[in-house]
Structure 1
Amino acid sequence: MKPDSNKAAPFTRYQILLITLLALLQFTVILDFMVLSPLGDILMKSLNIKPAGFGWVVSSYAFSAGASGLLAAGFADKFDRKKMLLFFYTGFIIGTLACALANSFVALMAARIFTGLFGGVIGAISLAVVTDVFEINQRGRVMGIVQMGFAASQVLGIPIGLYFANLWGWHAPFLMIVGLAVLIGIVIIVKMKPVNKHLVLQEDKNAFLHLWHTIENKDYRIGFTATAFLSIGGFMLMPFGSAYLINNIHITQQQLPTIFLITGLSSIVVMPYLGKLSDKYDKFYLFTAGSLLAIAMILVYCNMPPVPLWQVIVINVIMFMGIMGRMIPSTALATAVPEMRDRGAFMSINSSLQQMAGGIAAVCAGLIVSQPHKSAPLKNYDILGWVVTAAILLCLYFVYRVSQMVKNKASYPINLSMNENYDNLDDVVR
């Protein structure tokens, strides 16, 4: 891999605080979504949900998140990003509480739709904050830490959530998330500074015109497509992960927390290291290495016979190393695509398309996978592995185009006149 030429700047004390807050915020949002997978077998049996129906439970969040992302995109650069973050985080907390109180398939579906309307935009706003506050050669490390919310949800959130679910029912994990999110929201109100430099750069007075100008940008559309393909694999495999391990690999419900715990711990160790590599070396080369590793391990995972617990753990750990090796450099590349005045809209649309692509993937996975009865092995899970492999290869092509576009952008002459984006120095990469 080729090293980047620019030296990464150290973080200030406030930046460290902001990274911590964003990581904790991501932890709650990701856990709210991720906890459905380990609860999948319990929910399918408790509420008499078939695989296709559970695919809709997962995708309902994704589709509503995608719709809200598009609706919010035109307004994303019109307000202080802190205020936007707090508004949507409040809605997310209310929606998660509704999930905890749901007592039927229909009520759960409605609660997931409401939660998605707010939760789906939070990641986009967080990325816009990261891009405004941190330089490009800091963002790989920031992404490595913020994305640790994904690993932390496995290390702490999912095992604890499963423990609570085993004690008090599947409603308990959602109540746990609500309590933690309220505390995080209070800290954000008190400690986070306004993020509003982008407001002076706005040219489109109309929010929908701003949305259209963002969508019609050819370079932005390449970034959108790459992100959509990036999300397909995870959404296809994730919804039925616990049901597959329990019914096909003969892992017990009590062993699931151990798998998530060890996989998450390994991710916490690996992700900051991958973030440093992403800042030091060519991001596309790192993405390619992660993609190849992910393909190999996904094909192994989806074609496993019943194996001992330790083998399942080893395969999961290596597979997630490949997945994280894709997420971190691709996300860092995506933050370099939009100009500062378009970042909120770009990130909202990007998140929206990611969610909708994932929703379609979850629905398709539910149609591919079948289960004759509640305790029967899932059928056609191996087919999912091949479909995900094809999506990863397509994604590789589009991320390559994004990488080339970002490199070409770095070679543009910098114009610091009053009519240009005064944040250009931040946007120039390598």
Structure 2
Amino acid sequence: MTEQATSAKDKFSSNEILVILLLALTQFTVVLDFMVMSPLGDMLMKSMDLSTSQFGFSVSAYAFSAGLSGLLTAGFADRFDRKKLLLFFYIGFILGTLFCGLTTSYPMLLAARIFTGLFGGVIGSISMAIVTDIFPIERRGRVMGFMQMGFGASQVLGIPISLYIANMWGWQSPFLMIVGLATIIWLVIVFKLQPINKHLALQSDRSAFSHLWHTVSKKNYRIGFLATAFLSLGGFMMMPWGSAFAVNNLHVTVHQLPILFMFSGVCSLIIMPVAGKLSDRFDKFKLFTIASVWLSIVVIIYTNMGPTAFWLVLIMNIGFMIGIMSRMVPAIALSSALPAKEDRGAFMGINASLQQIAGGAAAAVGGMIVVQQDKFSPLEHYDTLGYVIVVLSAISIFLLYRVSVIVKAQKNENGKG
């Protein structure tokens, strides 16, 4: 009887499945909008005659504006129905992405990425707040795993399709495709998602700024923020130059690029649910540490590679995805356990903001480290990025260890209470 009750408790209700599906789909479009900049990087730099630093700033523009927007809205995040917040920022994201699809110059591209970031950067924190409101920590790893499948799906389906239509109709066309899909998802949220407003009953009389300061002032929260920032620094530093390095250094052809991203994405779809289950079953910090060590080894090997057989490039990229996804899921699940219920929206907003700002800084710094003499020459100093990422990963392990200790202490204290 106990086993049956436990099994029933572990199953998701139809409403919970709908929530997970809608959040995964919004994640898919937002992630694809950001991630597609990397595979389009070589095409963009050549068609617009951009330097590595200019392209780096076009990536950073989204991240910095997303981070600023998140900080400005964090104090208000717990004062509204989360469904209404999601709808408002998602429609802004759709308009910004449309602007990206209509741009024809570098200044327009920068403006479009800034506008899109102002709205798109907040959606992740709203989704995280929704997850923490609805799902307990014991089931959150699986939910995070399914949600993050949007990341893998963007590579399996979104990026290969985006590259294919970009080769046919120009680099702007993937953004127009995202607009069409996101509009459909927005309408489904309007009519199908139930209000998410139970947290409103826990609100105090503090102003939005006071609520923001109250959240930032907590030492335990600040450790979580710092852990997220360092996690993002490593991830964003290499990502923007992925396609340019593959084409110009590893001699992957433009026709092989969609296959490369598709195989990496398939690996993401497989590893995400597995990582979610493992993070619910085993110690989240230990899983994160193992994945970080694995990723560091792969990064050092990959960034020092020259012209390479395509099958080996595929294997290395799959190794990348295993490391990235296997540390992302437990890290997010652990961080989500830090805030009290009444602080979740603000915490997730600040956390997502620092993640974006750190990523923007990493992309900008990466653009200054990496050098390309002309449009078709190999990228130089890419290996330097690899060594920097290993150092950042080591710091991330230390910070997430502190988060893990705090979460366990809170759980023990609540158990005693």
User: For the superposition of Structure 1 and Structure 2, which TM-score range results when normalised by the shorter chain?
Assistant: over 0.9
Equivalent residues in 2 for 1:13-412, closer than 5 Å = 13-412=14-413
Conserved 8 A contact 1:8-1:137: no
Between the aligned partners of 2:300 and 2:100, the Cα distance in structure 1 is 34
Per the TM alignment, residue 118 of structure 1 is displaced from its structure 2 partner at its CA by 0.3
Conserved 8 A contact 1:68-1:118: yes
Of all paired residues, the percent bearing the same amino acid is: 58
Amino acid paired to 2:288: F
Between the aligned partners of 1:151 and 1:72, the Cα distance in structure 2 is 28
Conserved 8 A contact 1:7-1:137: no
1:8–1:319 CA distance, 2 compared to 1 (3 A)? farther
Question: 5+ unaligned residues in a row in structure 1: which ranges?
Answer: 417-430
**Which residue in the other structure is 1:10 paired with?**
11
Amino acid paired to 1:253: V
RMSD: 1.4
- 4+ residue runs of structure 1 moved beyond 3 angstroms? 5-8, 413-416
- Look up the SS of the partner of 2:40 in the other structure: helix
Residues 266-313 of structure 1, C-alpha deviations (whole Å, 9 max, x = no match):
111111011000111110011011101100101111011211111000
Per the TM alignment, residue 205 of structure 1 is displaced from its structure 2 partner at its CA by 3.0
Per the TM alignment, residue 10 of structure 1 is displaced from its structure 2 partner at its CA by 2.0
- Look up the SS of the partner of 2:288 in the other structure: helix
Between the aligned partners of 1:7 and 1:56, the Cα distance in structure 2 is 49
**Which residue in the other structure is 2:3 paired with?**
none
Between the aligned partners of 1:413 and 1:118, the Cα distance in structure 2 is 36
Q: Return the TM-score normalized by structure 1.
A: 0.94
Per the TM alignment, residue 11 of structure 1 is displaced from its structure 2 partner at its CA by 1.0
Question: 5+ unaligned residues in a row in structure 2: which ranges?
Answer: 1-5
Amino acid paired to 2:320: M
Amino acid paired to 2:391: A
Residues 232-287 of structure 1, C-alpha deviations (whole Å, 9 max, x = no match):
11111011110000000111111000000111111111110110001111100110
Conserved 8 A contact 1:9-1:137: no
Per the TM alignment, residue 406 of structure 1 is displaced from its structure 2 partner at its CA by 0.3
Amino acid paired to 1:281: F
Residues 153-184 of structure 1, C-alpha deviations (whole Å, 9 max, x = no match):
00000000000000000010000000000000
Conserved 8 A contact 1:302-1:382: yes
- Look up the SS of the partner of 1:359 in the other structure: helix
Residues 181-216 of structure 1, C-alpha deviations (whole Å, 9 max, x = no match):
000001111111111111111114310000000000
Between the aligned partners of 1:166 and 1:21, the Cα distance in structure 2 is 30
- Look up the SS of the partner of 1:36 in the other structure: coil
Conserved 8 A contact 2:215-2:343: yes
Conserved 8 A contact 2:276-2:329: yes
Per the TM alignment, residue 413 of structure 1 is displaced from its structure 2 partner at its CA by 3.8
Q: Return the TM-score normalized by structure 2.
A: 0.97
Amino acid paired to 2:70: G
Conserved 8 A contact 1:263-1:317: yes
Between the aligned partners of 1:40 and 1:8, the Cα distance in structure 2 is 46
Residues 388-413 of structure 1, C-alpha deviations (whole Å, 9 max, x = no match):
11111000000000000000000114
Equivalent residues in 2 for 1:410-425, closer than 5 Å = 410-413=411-414
Between the aligned partners of 1:50 and 1:237, the Cα distance in structure 2 is 16
1:79–1:249 CA distance, 2 compared to 1 (3 A)? same
> How many residue pairs align between the two structures?
412
Amino acid paired to 2:175: F
Between the aligned partners of 1:63 and 1:122, the Cα distance in structure 2 is 15
- Look up the SS of the partner of 1:412 in the other structure: helix
